């Protein structure tokens, strides 16, 4: 079984200390953890409108990206980086918070729409739909009018712990994705039970 050629992992979030621990920054948490595990440090690159770090997994050199454009304009950063390194969308994974999944759940999927997520909407506008999504479940407030406040605030401790566990499990799955392929990684992630 062959692995997935993977050259960019973009974690979505908002820059600035005031956003650091909000649910909307789960994608940042994910790439931060990958960088820590692989001894890499993020540096700010204006030409990519974001911070990048480089890691090596198996045979793959992977660039981690944190757009610093704010969530709604994430696509610019992803496109600038992918254009520079000539990376097609199918070799890009975008990690993001997901309202439509229970807290602590994590799912991997290829392609599809934006599901109302403004970061994904902007990336699709810039590079199309043909990229991978690592969806980190943060739950839903139950009322659409509360969504913005919900994602821009910190989760209660028990929920935050579940999200952090999901981020850690997702990071565990990256070597599987790279070396054994998407199907194996999905099986690992999707069969995991979340302890409430």
**What tens digit of pLDDT does each residue of 84-107 get?**
999 999 999 999 999 999 999 999
The average pLDDT across 169-176 equals 96
Q: Please write down the HEC assignment for all residues of 9-69.
A: EEECCCCCHHHCCCHHHHHHHHHHHHHHHCCCCCEEEHHHCEEEEEEEECCEEEEEEEECC
Distance in angstroms (rounded) separating the CA atoms of residues 63 and 59: 13
The average pLDDT across 187-195 equals 82
Catalytic machinery residues? 24
The single-letter DSSP state of residue 156 is P
Distance in angstroms (rounded) separating the CA atoms of residues 42 and 102: 30
Give me the pLDDT at residue 169, please: 96
How many other CB atoms are there within 10 angstroms of residue 53's CB atom? 21
Distance in angstroms (rounded) separating the CA atoms of residues 167 and 161: 10
Q: Which of 2, 60, 29 is nearest to 154 (CA)?
A: 29
| Annotated domain spans of the chain | 8-190
Architecture of domain 8-190: 3-Layer(aba) Sandwich (3.40)
**What tens digit of pLDDT does each residue of 130-160 get?**
999 999 999 999 998 999 999 999 999 999 9
Q: Judge if pTM exceeds 0.85.
A: yes
> Please, which pLDDT band fits residue 192 given cuts at 50, 70 and 90?
confident
3-state helix, strand, coil in the chain (%, to 5): 45, 20, 35
């Amino acid at each position: 079984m062959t692995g997935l050629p993977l050259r960019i992992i973009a974690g979505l979030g908002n820059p600035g200390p005031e956003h650091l621990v909000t649910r909307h920054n789960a994608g940042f948490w994910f790439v931060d953890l990958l960088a820590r595990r692989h001894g890499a440090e993020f540096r700010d690159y204006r030409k990519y409108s974001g911070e990048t770090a480089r890691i090596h997994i198996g045979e793959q050199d992977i660039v981690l990206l944190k757009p610093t454009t704010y969530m709604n304009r994430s696509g610019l950063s992803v496109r600038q980086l992918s254009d520079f390194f000539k990376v097609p969308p199918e070799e890009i994974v975008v990690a993001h918070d997901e309202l439509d999944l229970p807290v602590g759940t994590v799912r991997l999927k290829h392609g599809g729409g934006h599901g109302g997520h403004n970061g994904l909407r902007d990336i699709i506008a810039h590079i199309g739909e043909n990229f991978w999504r690592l969806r980190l479940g943060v739950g839903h407030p139950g009322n659409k009018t509360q969504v913005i406040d919900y994602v821009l605030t910190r989760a209660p401790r028990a929920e935050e712990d579940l999200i952090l566990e999901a981020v850690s499990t997702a990071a565990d799955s990256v070597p599987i994705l790279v070396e054994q392929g998407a199907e194996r990684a999905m099986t690992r992630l999707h069969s995991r039970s979340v302890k409430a």
